[in-house]
Structure 1
Amino acid sequence: MQRQLIFSASMFLLVWGWSLLPAPLRGWSMLPLWIVCTALIFTGGFEAARMRRRVWLDQYLRAESPWHRLLRGGALMAAWHVLIGALLSLFMLIKLQYSDAALWAVLALGLPLLAWFSRMLNRRMREHVAPQALPALVRRFSVPLAVGVLTALYLMVTLNQGQTDLRGLSWELVMLEYLQPSASELTGLRVLERSYMMLDLTLHWALQNGLGGAERNGWLALVGWSLLLLSGSAFIWAYVRLLVGLDALLDQRIQPSWKEAA
């Protein structure tokens, strides 16, 4: 578990240092970092998916059935998790560029929190789980626990941050007056950053203007809270998956996976 904390801290410092780079350098270095983050999120997600699939197959199929090989998950499952990893990592990296010190503190707290969950689960499951399956199963259960705690902290921090007063303004006027230009020099990244800023402004506009009567502003409150929960949980999920994927990758290089050992 100490190894997990050390490498997770190294990954945290990498993305934090990247977010502090000047805008042009940060934009050009985003592509290789995006590839790395996608690979790590894919590793953790694909491991969990293969584990769920194997448990299902062992439950319903005979051991000698050739369907094991056909249904255990191959190129299609891998492609799906690569896509999910790419989208999550891209959203995470764009949001990290606009994160303040309070949010970085929440992410830093996730390092010892995830290590503590892993150590606790490892201690409790050691006597009941096969040794070759224990690391993957610990990672599988530590993700939702860490995501739940960090998402709650993220929401507390976000709701207590000072925001521009957008009450009484139309959405079009908010976009016209408060949407900041992107600092990136890459066209694709500039479009994505502007899209994120539009999403963030829409979120705060909906929350601030949805505090009136339910008959008039109920739909705005629904939009605001939905965007807040979805964006926050996706961001935290991507971050935790990144750290867990790094641990899974290191674990696979040190010892055979539980699937291969079975």
Structure 2
Amino acid sequence: MGTSLDALVRWLDDTLQPGKFRDYCPNGLQVEGRAEVARLATGVTASQALLDAAADWDADAILVHHGYFWRGEAEPLVGMKRRRLATLLTRDISLLAYHLPLDAHPTLGNNARLGELLDIRDVAPLEPGDPTAVGNVGNFAEPLDGPALCARLRELTGREPLLVGDAQRQLQRVAWCTGAAQSYIGTALAAGADVYITGEVSEPTVHIAREEGIVFVAAGHHATERYGVQAVGEALAAAFPIEHRFFDCDNPV
């Protein structure tokens, strides 16, 4: 049982097409471990908690949405960064990370999976002129109001979403983008959305939602981005003779 690390990387690069994106971090193999992979752990962020859980499970490789080496961060490998890399290197575990490519994939991506789980139909890109755009717009299968939408998100994510705007308004047209995409609220307005769903909220977002008359929902950065990496891990386990396990290291943001 198992396959080569090179084969996994080729499949991921062919499927997620990272070369199409101008990202904030390197996509693909970030830390090289053993050449053969029998156990693949997945998670949202390559935190120490995820590394420890994967190492305890004897994972050969870890696939995440939020990896390392972000643009603009301090470069010295000290403190927390040293400890994380030491865990990977001493246990000979590979780290693979895909950021925007994992948001944008039309079937396995974070946005695609969240839209499917919310039963959104007639899905289209939020920015149709941009082939690498990560947001989407569509229609709920049946109109629903704010409390019903929040109840659906609460059941799905296990946490209480924040809603800004007219909670009793009937919502049909929906735009969404997982993670920290609150700045897309203007794009959602231009797309004719009744409601915009993302992970995080910032102070100006509240005023825009109130003054422009759009319902805004922040459902959690971590919570909205749990589904894409799981889908990719499951697809890899179907394509290769490997074992896959998703580790949900909770994050309230």
TM-score (norm. length: structure 2): 0.30
TM-score (norm. length: structure 1): 0.29
Richer in strand (by share): 2
Radius of gyration: which is bigger? 1
Q: Which has the higher contact order (CA 8 A, sep 6+)?
A: 1
